[in-house]
Structure 1
Amino acid sequence: MSSYEQPLYDCQTPSLDSTEQSVVESIDQDRMWDSVEKFSSLTRISGTSGERKAAEYLTTVLSDHAVSHTVHEPELYLSTPISATVTATDRTECFKSAKTVAFSNNDSVSGEVIRLHADEEGDSVESLLDHSLNIDDVAVEDKVVVAESLIPITEIRALAARGAAAFIAIHPHDREPHEGIISPVWGGAPTFEEKDKIPEITVANISGDDGDKLDALIENNPSLSLTVSTTVDTRWVRCPLIEAEITPTKTATDEFVLLHGHYDSWHVGVTDNATGDAALLEAAIALSAHADQLTRAVRVCWWPGHSTGRYAGSTWYADTFAQDLHENCLAHVNVDSPGVTDAVEFTSRVKWMTAAAPVAIGTITDVTGKQTQTRRPSRAGDYSFNNLGIAGLSLQSSIESAVREKRGYHLVGGSGGHADAWHLTTDTLEKADPATLKRDTAVYTIATYRLASSTECPLDYRLTIAEHQQTLATLASGAAMLGLEKEHKKLTETYEQLSKSVTEIYERGDHSFENLHSLARVLTRVNYVTDGTFEQDPAVGRPPLPALASIEQPPRDEDQKRFLACGARRSYNEIIYELRSVLTQLSAT
């Protein structure tokens, strides 16, 4: 029961079969809470002794329960914020809450302040990263730019390109700014061609209270100059990455499900993500005890480098095992921030790709009795497998929106919406709850079990095709304005043919993952990425059908319209080609 009298379950008993009930009963709440308590005393910044102690603990527990596992030691490109100071250049004022961020310059700079005001940040993780600071007509060279924001990644890069000396973000948290990272490069380490995408700028964050103080100072002195000094440790670091594998005992198969989450943290990071690490342990133990019921293997991974390397651990794994993942991984399940105190609902923070909706919705309903809904995954978290075309799901519970509003919480990217926990020193043990963690772990474990025990493909790609068709319909007007009616019609007809073919396959009962493999990969990629299969799209928002999304509202300038049409025509051709290739393969099924 939560502290505000809302139930963790909306059903008397879970609606599970006998094997699933046995899986849930294998989850030991006390053992899991012991793991959370252990991690609550470890600062698990990647590359530190705290992270290694956590890795040693995880492997000890796995060994104690005879769960086969491997410890990889990748070298990751990480950027660890150490300290920051923000002072009036005349030393009349110092803002003590200042922190720097991962991949900020390691520097001390001074400049005249320019105060900007950001657009509303919206209601999603992507809106935290992509909102505008309205800098187009502002001279920012050599200036210290100040705005209320979290980390507007795209705008920070634009400020760096235009020669701004520094950026100071005023955070909505009154006492302490949230930790963060400014690089859009997914995985931390850029390719040789991407190396200039890491912005060269000095960045500091300050609390809301210090922001009020700074605004008063600016109002009294419009020509105020600030000095921003940062210390950041950016280098290659070797880190443990733990991979457990549960192999079916009665079925020989190369197919597998990837269950994963990060075990590094900001500070002690109880809800982000010590609770998730404990959940992964219990899931591994429970699924291992039921390996005779599996038709696919389950790999369970604990990632380093999530926080200071923009998902560096999962990106290394995606790169290193790319062929195996592409050929054999049915789906990935990301475990992040389960078990938050008062997180009683499954509506605002859940996210899964449409094909996974029957598994995700069915599991949440059957285990908890709670209502839920499909939400599109943002380009965040350890969704490092989009380019490979692998369907992903995350079943995050959350504190109810009315409760968050009543408590004055602002929008955050994790911790069940707990704004006094996410990426803060106050993400401590009391922010988590054992019973909530047991429920959430059951949800994640049963979802993984259902993915790994079905004989056919449990993902419904008919739903994905319908989603694409709905998105495509919204682009018809823009296509016509750009003279692309013919291309739009061809793609629409191709989706109609694909829908008919795939529906027939499901109705015949021929929907094995092997038969649907090419379809699954292409549909996921078309809806989530624009870069290559073995590349990583940047950590910025990706709308549905991203290669075509910009045609929805064409520019007025004639040259700009033609430039847009040129690229869009190529995108239409590419998508039509990919889908027709899939149709050819399906016709042989």
Structure 2
Amino acid sequence: MLTREEQQLLESMDRAELLRHTREIASYKRVSCTEGESAAREYIKAELLKEGIAVREMPAKGLLSYPQNSILIANHGRPDERELPSVAWTHSGSADTPVTGKAVYLERDNFSGNPLVYLAERGAYPKDLLGKVVLTTVISAVSVMEAQERGAVAYAVCWPQGDETYAHECMVQYMGWGTPLPEEADLFPSIPVIAVNKSTGDSLRSQALNNDLVCTVQVAMDTAVRGFAQLEARLEGSGGSPFFYLVGSHLDSIYYGATDNATGDAINLMLAKRFARASHLPYGLRFCWWSAHEYAKYVGSSTYALDNFQDLNRHCLAYTNIDMPGLKGATCYTRTTAGPDYLDLARKTVEDMTGQNGVWPYPVRSWDQSFQNMGISTYFAWLSGLPDTSPDRTMDSFMSWWWHTEHDVMDYCDADILHTDARIYLLALFRALHDHGGAPTPLPLWDFTQKKLWEFAGRFRDVLDFGPLLGAWEDARAEWSRGASRLDPGQRLSTVRKLNQILYAQRAQWVQDTGITHPYLPGISWSASPLADKKGSAKGRLILDHYLRTQINRIYSLLSDLPRA
């Protein structure tokens, strides 16, 4: 149920102005570090300054990777030779000369998909793919690296679902996140990584399964360290509170990127302008437009996390990400991407605006979630999406067939859905500012994380005795609960940080975890699962067992650091 104040707030979200900003931003090809991206950034900056909003332009740099060319030839030199359309993916290895190999088709169960297994088994993989070109529907940086370790000379993604006649550009090849640490410097593939559409992939798969296909692949890449700039707009809280909400959208795009992500950038701009006119803000707001999202694996948002670590760590209440709103046909709002501590507020907001009941779909990585290692809560990673029955779906997901292609233009932006999305984000932030009492309550995080720990204790009981950890958890929770009513907002926020770090991360708060879709308690899940399945070499299992125990100790440490009254 909307209050009168909320109804008036929603009426202030001007549909025509929102669409005007979207059209302007979508008129530029916003490839990272190009004049088009710079022009769009200057447009947003000028609009913010007109409103009297403080704007900061932040220089940064990263390892950006631009595909230049991709050649795929089937059965070169034979009567049935044919060149097939393909695209190279960012951070693919380059092949100055063509590589040729017999094609083999591999299903998902031919790869572990587990980054810890790959790291533990490097050097021990069999060379069963030596000289082969791998064809697969598996889109995974880990699988690329495993294929390379097993001797493959190229990796070709056969698009899993969709009738489109072209291939999509993508960025899944690098296992890390943002700029690599020294120990991650070799986690980029050295073999070519390309993609073909489903029709081409089905044809190649059929030939490969008949043992009648040789593929020649050549890829040209432009990968180098480049500088770029990002925008931040700040609105300070009315009472001088140091706490704030962070809102972000990636400005760079593949081609014109109308729905990925000019729509999100326009909503972000409208939110900043609307809240700048508010008579009272209990807490601050920061609005950022990220660069180097598409071509450098979230270097923009991760650099912001790095450069603003202390302030974010102490004062950021939650992060709201705006990506791909306003898609034509995106009428599904049931995937509510907010963490346990913000889930009820997010679900109520979506239900009040759409009548749909949302559920938390799964742990979300990607989507510029560069603040999870710090333990910053997620308050929407995305909003609307294509329903499962939509004919526009591709990749067996809620992505659209025009996603990451030159077809992503304003024709596929729905003005009504865009306006609805903007109003939901506006209401969600308003309610967080006024109804959430500063730091969120940690109780839902306690409950949800405890549930997952107890599940793991049963699932992996033959791998490790979780009894001492569960006892320590119960003791820590009981001690925390006794003084919970006396904790100040900063202490409540610190509790949320520690619990989020247990639930979502495996590394320290000042670095980034891998850029792979994470399970809950990823360090435990990824190390214990292969041990429970009794897979891998003796050396690999030893490494994983050791790592599992370090992850248990990490949780002990985080529990001991919880604030107590």
TM-score (norm 1): 0.86
User: Which region of structure 1 is more displaced relative to structure 2, 548-557 or 336-345?
Assistant: 548-557
Shift in Å at residue 408 of structure 1? Answer: 6.8
Identity %: 25
Shift in Å at residue 563 of structure 1? Answer: 5.8
Q: Which amino acid aligns with 1:523?
A: L
Q: Deviations over 1:391-413 (max 9, x none)?
A: 11224112222x22xx2733366
Say if 2:91 and 2:174, in contact at 8 Å, map to a contact too.
Answer: no
Selected match of 2:248 from 260, 267, 283: 260
Q: Deviations over 1:363-398 (max 9, x none)?
A: 212333321112333221100001111111224112
Q: Which amino acid aligns with 2:228?
A: C
Shift in Å at residue 478 of structure 1? Answer: 4.9
Say if 2:57 and 2:229, in contact at 8 Å, map to a contact too.
Answer: yes
Residue in 1 aligned with 2:528?
551
Query: Quick check: 1:69 aligned with 2:55?
Result: yes
Q: Which amino acid aligns with 2:182?
A: F
User: Which region of structure 1 is more displaced relative to structure 2, 494-503 or 566-575?
Assistant: 494-503
Q: Deviations over 1:452-475 (max 9, x none)?
A: 334723523211111111111112
Residue in 1 aligned with 2:308?
321
Selected match of 2:257 from 255, 262, 269: 269
Say if 2:246 and 2:286, in contact at 8 Å, map to a contact too.
Answer: yes
Selected match of 1:388 from 374, 381, 386: 374
Shift in Å at residue 276 of structure 1? Answer: 0.5
Q: Which amino acid aligns with 2:312?
A: L
Say if 2:306 and 2:510, in contact at 8 Å, map to a contact too.
Answer: yes
5+ long unaligned stretches in structure 2 = 119-123
User: Which region of structure 1 is more displaced relative to structure 2, 190-199 or 450-459?
Assistant: 450-459
Say if 2:155 and 2:193, in contact at 8 Å, map to a contact too.
Answer: yes
Measure the CA separation in 1 of the matches of 2:435 and 2:488. Answer: 10
Measure the CA separation in 2 of the matches of 1:397 and 1:145. Answer: 35
Shift in Å at residue 136 of structure 1? Answer: 7.2
SS in 2 for 1:301: strand
Selected match of 2:225 from 236, 239, 247: 236
Query: Quick check: 1:464 aligned with 2:451?
Result: no
Shift in Å at residue 448 of structure 1? Answer: 1.9
Residue in 2 aligned with 1:451?
432
User: Which region of structure 1 is more displaced relative to structure 2, 360-369 or 69-78?
Assistant: 360-369
SS in 2 for 1:77: strand
Q: Deviations over 1:250-271 (max 9, x none)?
A: 3112111100110111111111
Residue in 1 aligned with 2:518?
542
Shift in Å at residue 273 of structure 1? Answer: 0.8
Query: Quick check: 1:302 aligned with 2:289?
Result: yes
Query: Quick check: 1:227 aligned with 2:216?
Result: yes
Give the direction of change, closer, same or farther, for the CA distance of 1:455–1:227 in structure 2 (3 Å limit).
closer
Measure the CA separation in 1 of the matches of 2:303 and 2:38. Answer: 18
Measure the CA separation in 1 of the matches of 2:113 and 2:143. Answer: 12
Selected match of 2:469 from 465, 481, 491: 491
Say if 1:27 and 1:442, in contact at 8 Å, map to a contact too.
Answer: yes
SS in 2 for 1:536: coil
Query: Quick check: 1:411 aligned with 2:395?
Result: yes
Query: Quick check: 1:116 aligned with 2:105?
Result: yes
Say if 1:187 and 1:316, in contact at 8 Å, map to a contact too.
Answer: no
Residue in 1 aligned with 2:121?
none
Q: Deviations over 1:140-189 (max 9, x none)?
A: 2222222234x221110112223321111111344111111233344442
Query: Quick check: 1:36 aligned with 2:22?
Result: yes
Shift in Å at residue 216 of structure 1? Answer: 5.5
User: Which region of structure 1 is more displaced relative to structure 2, 66-75 or 367-376?
Assistant: 367-376
Correspondence 1:147-166 to 2 at 5 A: 147-149=136-138, 151-166=139-154
Shift in Å at residue 211 of structure 1? Answer: 2.2
Residue in 2 aligned with 1:27?
13
User: Which region of structure 1 is more displaced relative to structure 2, 357-366 or 52-61?
Assistant: 357-366
Measure the CA separation in 1 of the matches of 2:392 and 2:509. Answer: 42
Query: Quick check: 1:246 aligned with 2:246?
Result: no
Correspondence 1:12-23 to 2 at 5 A: 15-23=1-9
Give the direction of change, closer, same or farther, for the CA distance of 1:177–1:377 in structure 2 (3 Å limit).
same
5+ long unaligned stretches in structure 1 = 1-14
SS in 1 for 2:101: strand
SS in 2 for 1:74: strand
Q: Which amino acid aligns with 1:570?
A: T
Measure the CA separation in 2 of the matches of 1:77 and 1:419. Answer: 28
Measure the CA separation in 1 of the matches of 2:459 and 2:436. Answer: 43
Say if 1:456 and 1:511, in contact at 8 Å, map to a contact too.
Answer: no
Shift in Å at residue 357 of structure 1? Answer: 0.9
Residue in 2 aligned with 1:50?
36
Q: Which amino acid aligns with 2:331?
A: V
SS in 2 for 1:200: coil
Shift in Å at residue 29 of structure 1? Answer: 0.9
Residue in 2 aligned with 1:568?
548
Query: Quick check: 1:533 aligned with 2:502?
Result: no
Measure the CA separation in 2 of the matches of 1:515 and 1:20. Answer: 30
Measure the CA separation in 1 of the matches of 2:115 and 2:513. Answer: 15
Residue in 2 aligned with 1:190?
180
Measure the CA separation in 2 of the matches of 1:503 and 1:342. Answer: 46
SS in 2 for 1:548: helix
Give the direction of change, closer, same or farther, for the CA distance of 1:442–1:433 in structure 2 (3 Å limit).
same
Query: Quick check: 1:437 aligned with 2:426?
Result: no
Q: Deviations over 1:110-137 (max 9, x none)?
A: 222222232389xxxx9999999xx977
Shift in Å at residue 300 of structure 1? Answer: 0.3
Shift in Å at residue 242 of structure 1? Answer: 0.8
Measure the CA separation in 2 of the matches of 1:497 and 1:430. Answer: 57
Give the direction of change, closer, same or farther, for the CA distance of 1:61–1:40 in structure 2 (3 Å limit).
same
User: Which region of structure 1 is more displaced relative to structure 2, 466-475 or 545-554?
Assistant: 545-554
Q: Deviations over 1:465-498 (max 9, x none)?
A: 111111111122355423x43xx23322333344
Q: Deviations over 1:332-355 (max 9, x none)?
A: 00111111122222113x322111
Q: Which amino acid aligns with 2:258?
A: V
User: Which region of structure 1 is more displaced relative to structure 2, 312-321 or 37-46?
Assistant: 37-46
Residue in 2 aligned with 1:358?
344
Q: How many residues align?
A: 549
SS in 2 for 1:391: coil
Residue in 2 aligned with 1:427?
408
SS in 2 for 1:260: strand
Residue in 2 aligned with 1:400?
387
Measure the CA separation in 2 of the matches of 1:86 and 1:130. Answer: 32
Q: Deviations over 1:278-327 (max 9, x none)?
A: 1101111111111x321111000010111111011001101111111111
SS in 2 for 1:293: coil
Q: Deviations over 1:427-470 (max 9, x none)?
A: 22122111111111111122222223347235232111111111
Measure the CA separation in 2 of the matches of 1:325 and 1:94. Answer: 54
Q: Deviations over 1:540-569 (max 9, x none)?
A: 132112232243662448967776554433
Measure the CA separation in 2 of the matches of 1:183 and 1:219. Answer: 25
SS in 1 for 2:557: helix
Say if 1:330 and 1:391, in contact at 8 Å, map to a contact too.
Answer: yes
Q: Which amino acid aligns with 1:469?
A: Q
CA RMSD of aligned residues (A): 2.9
Measure the CA separation in 2 of the matches of 1:434 and 1:128. Answer: 40
Give the direction of change, closer, same or farther, for the CA distance of 1:224–1:569 in structure 2 (3 Å limit).
closer
Say if 1:242 and 1:302, in contact at 8 Å, map to a contact too.
Answer: yes
Say if 2:142 and 2:175, in contact at 8 Å, map to a contact too.
Answer: no
Measure the CA separation in 2 of the matches of 1:75 and 1:480. Answer: 46
